[in-house]
Structure 1
Amino acid sequence: MSLTSKNQLILQNLFELRKVHSVSERLSSGRVFYIDMLMGLCDASGVIWPVGIGQHLEKELLNEGSIITFKCKIMRTNPQAELKYDDNYFIIINELINKTTSLSSWENALIPSPLPNKEEIESQNKLFNQNIKVTNFYTSPVAKRLKSIKQRNSSLDRVHLFFKNRGFVNIETPTLVPSGGVEVYLNPFHTEYEDHRGHKWKLQLPTSPEFALKKLMVEGTHKIFQLSRAYRNNGEVSKHHEPEFVMLEWYRAQGTLQNMMEDTQNLVETLAYYLGTHLEIPKQWPAFRVDKLFQDILSISLEHVQNTEQFYLKAKNLSPSITKNDDWDTLFYKLFMEKIEPFLEKQKACFVTHYPIQMGALAAQERVKSNRSLEQNDSIENETKPFVERMEAFLYGVEICNGYLELSDAKNLSERFQKTLSARPELQQDPLFENAMEFGLPPCSGNALGIDRVIALLLGQKSISSLYPLPFLSQFPKGTVAWE
């Protein structure tokens, strides 16, 4: 609010009326809407104002959606009422100063229109002593979304502080890369760079900053983190998925899977306290091994169904969605989503650890110590298991992160890459990343966390798109791009 003269000021929002009721004339602005013959204004904060127009302005053409600047007076609709109630005020426009005409209605696929919903306005209409039909003041969807955007911004600042206070270095990595990733179920966006000589280079947008951050770990960094843009093609747009989103990723040299789980829980608790969430965040997060979940819930020993035929025979009667044409991975994911996730949804917060090696990506294979018999000199050796040191965290049934004890064996990495490329030959490799791995990735752990999922859950938002100024779908005419 800025005072322009003794009797005139810029009115920014309704709350300030309580402070300036002695000023007789005000300068304000807003976007026009109509409900039947009633005109209203939506101001910059998203608050809806009921408005009356003086007789000399009745012939002025004010289209719905037009933005106007005007001089006005504020009337008390009920002089006997207490001043603390916002709906005791009413705007009378006396002079129109400026007008920006809207030529067409605002159409947007996802962002609520800046014009209020007619049904909401009509439901709040009421009559005053002059028999003028007006509406109560209320906060529009625009104001609610703006509040969510601001909360997300401050939450990301708090994430930076969380890691900096723990000695992590903030890193910024490229978004034009030779390989966006080589995971079987992720699809990168493709683009091309042409240099000044006319030579062309195939590039992609990263599905995560993993390759770039690991190159820095090879160079000797100790603790690093990044809030980066991640891009994933050929996927659904839904409550928890957008083709473009912000990924939080961090690495600890000499770190363990347990370190990643502790970091994740501490971060979520910090943000929950910072935002004042309605959710109950438990002090203890249980950890469940995947193989134990399958054994306890489905009576399937994943260790003993390592080929597709064995797995199918055990799984075929557990779900009508399972078919004989399903490969091993598909059988696993169908059972996990249909039978395991309902159990996880009952947990407020938990970890799921030690996924099958088929879902290993770049996680180290699990090794356990086994006692040999006395005939074999009572030696103790590391025995490999068909599982990897991978964990995911679930918050009220929603998967929020994917953490690894990182695979550092270059030969093993190359074998996994080749297996992935045999299934997905169109994926691009990053030779310099493979070279870095051959040089030697130090023992480390890492985690990739969908920070927008966490913030949306803590704020009680139905989708992550409500946190974005311009969500993906808002760039296309309504109904043209599939939702879920």
Structure 2
Amino acid sequence: MTEASPWWTPHVHADRRPRLLLRNRITAATREWFDRRDFVEVEAAALQISPGNETHLSAFATEAILPDGERKPLYLHTSPEFACKKLIAAGEQRIFSFGAVYRNRERGPLHHPEFRMLEWYRVGETYDRLMDDCAALLTLAAEKAGARRFTFRGREADPFAEPERLTVADAFLRYADIDLLATVAADGTTDRDALHAALVETGLRTAPDDSWTDLFSRVMVEKIEPVLGAGRATILYEYPVSEAALARPSPRDPRVAERFELYCCGVELANAFGELTDPVEQRRRFEADMEEKQRIYGERYPIDEDFLRALAIMPETSGVALGFDRLVMLAAGAQKLDDILWTPVA
């Protein structure tokens, strides 16, 4: 088998260049979009005490060597979220971050160890407003690309159509015939055995050591995510509180949280929260996630105590993180992230 030429080979770069220039146009248009709405662009330091405390996020670890020779562990951030929320606690009202983030154990057509994340926050506004923002950015990317449709792996979506809004519970009923909320108590605790029985009844595979979260994820991956964003984008919202580590509970139903994800052509593009501002509850969730991380991966990350202190004075805020490279990939008609990155990691 002939080895593929590297991206820096002149003829390969010539083929890639039109998509890379499109990336630049979408980048410039996105910054202009936020500027017109009185957002301030901020720069979050990549080196952090904690890379985040979600169970399945893996970070790149490094260390600082201080002038006296002391070594201090640090991590490349998996998101600018902690830094952005500290800025909100400091008094910023509308901010966006548009920079590189780093995630280990991730490589494939839709994953790259270093990628561009677009993250923005609105103080005093509901997360429904962020749904409107996401729809507008889909349209903006399509306009800059001159694309009437987005396509990926045989799936199509109209980026100009109003996204469908679908609750997670309704998605489980529609695509898996499972009453998800029947397995979630009013205080947010989950019934693993009840969800396991529902999966068995629908013919989905299970394992004896599956947790409720494992079972939830299996339904999402096998039954729901592949069909989301077909014809038009889908906003999947109201996740169970156990699956929304940084989101506040919904005032409508305490079993679910103010979290949504944006999907287009079966591709997850964005993850948003009505932000949790209770530092005691946030610590409890972080510690529970780190216990689960220890169980699965044999490691845990430190908790950023400054972040929890900032959370205590942070006003009500809604925030969203969007995978900018995936958006460009769809707009450009590419089939993998490497095709729209100027310098992919080897």
TM over 0.5: yes
- The equivalent of 1:63 in structure 2 is none
> Could you say which structure has the higher helix fraction?
2
> Which residue number in structure 1 is paired with residue 94 of structure 2?
223
Return the offset for 1:454: 0.5
- Corresponding residue number in structure 2 for 1:111: 7
Q: Is the 8 A contact 2:249 2:256 kept in 1?
A: yes
Among candidates 323, 337, 340, match of residue 464 of structure 1:
337
- Structure 2 CA distance for aligned equivalents of residues 109 and 304 of structure 1: 53
Structure 2 residue corresponding to 1:428, chosen from 302, 315, 318: 302
Which whole-Å deviations, capped at 9, do the CAs of 1:251-274 have from their partners, x for residues lacking one?
000121111100111111112112
Q: Which runs of 4+ in 1 moved over 6 A?
A: 106-109
Deviation for aligned residue 1:299: 2.8
- Paired residues of 2:127 and 2:258 also in contact (CA < 8 A): yes
1:355 is displaced (CA, Å) by 0.8
Match of 2:260 in 1: 391
- The residue number in structure 2 matching 1:419 is 288
Q: Is the 8 A contact 2:161 2:232 kept in 1?
A: no
Q: Any gaps of 5 or more consecutive residues in structure 1?
A: 1-105, 115-139, 369-383, 476-484
Counterpart-to-counterpart distance in 1, 2:69 and 2:9: 45
User: For residue 110 of structure 2, what is the aligned residue in structure 1?
Assistant: 240
Q: Does the residue aligned with 1:252 lie in a helix, a strand or coil?
A: strand
SS of match in other structure, 1:448: strand
Distance (whole Å) between structure 2 residues aligned to residue 159 and residue 405 of structure 1: 22
The two structures have a TM-score, normalised by structure 1, of 0.65
CA contact (8 A) 1:351 1:394 kept: yes
For residues 231 and 329 of structure 1, the distance between their equivalents in structure 2, rounded to whole angstroms, comes to 24
Shift of 1:113: 4.1
CA deviation after TM superposition for structure 1 residue 469, in Å: 2.4
Q: CA deviation at 1:314?
A: 1.0
1:302-342 CA-to-partner distances (Å, cap 9, x unmatched) read 22212111110111243443222211111111111211124
Partner of 1:5: none
Q: Which has the higher strand share?
A: 1
The aligned residue for residue 144 of structure 1 is 15
CA distance in 2, matches of 1:278, 1:195: 54
Counterparts in 2 of 1:121-270, with a 5 A limit? 140-235=11-106, 237-270=107-140
* Cα distance in 2 between the residues matched to 1:109 and 1:182: 38
- Deviation, structure 1 residue 283: 2.8
Report the number of matched residues.
326
* Distance verdict in 2 for CA 1:218–1:397, change over 3 Å: same
Question: Deviations 1:344-373 (Å, cap 9, x if unpaired)?
Answer: 1534212100111121120111122xxxxx
Does the 8 Å contact 1:316/1:323 carry over to 2?
no
State the Cα deviation string for residues 95-128 of structure 1 (Å, max 9, x = none).
Answer: xxxxxxxxxxx976752744xxxxxxxxxxxxxx
Q: Distance in 1 between matches of 2:44 and 2:55?
A: 23
Aligned 8 A contact 2:162 2:232 in 1 = no
Instruction: Report if aligned partners of 1:278, 1:459 keep a CA contact under 8 Å in 2.
Output: no
Q: Which amino acid aligns with 2:212?
A: W
Deviations 1:180-226 (A, max 9, x none): 11111101110000111111111000000000000000111100001
Amino acid at match of 2:254: K
- Work out the CA distance in 2 between the residues paired with 1:179 and 1:292: 35
Higher Cα radius of gyration? 1
Query: Contact (CA 8 Å) 2:121, 2:318: kept in 1 or not?
Result: yes
Q: Which residue of 2 aligns with 1:337?
A: 221
Residue matched to 2:173: 295
- 1:107 and 1:113 in contact (8 A); partners too: no
Aligned Cα RMSD in Å? 1.8
Take 2:52 and 2:321, find their aligned partners in 1: how far apart are those partners? 14
Tell me the residue number matched to 2:250: 366
Instruction: Measure the CA separation in 2 of the matches of 1:285 and 1:209.
Output: 26
Superposition pairs for residues 24-43 of structure 1, below 5 Å? none
Candidates 269, 282, 285, aligned match of 2:160: 282
Distance between the aligned counterparts of 1:241 and 1:471, measured in 2? 11
Q: Which has the higher contact order (CA 8 A, sep 6+)?
A: 2
Deviates more, 1:145-154 or 1:293-302: 293-302
Task: Tell whether 2:237 aligns with 1:353.
Answer: yes
Write the distance in 1 (CA, Å) between the matches of 2:36 and 2:270: 21
Could you tell me how far apart the structure 2 residues matched to 1:395 and 1:110 are?
30
TM-score (norm 2): 0.90
Could you say which residue in structure 2 is the equivalent of 1:73? none
Q: Distance in 2 between matches of 1:340 and 1:164?
A: 36
Query: Which residue is equivalent to 1:314?
Result: 198
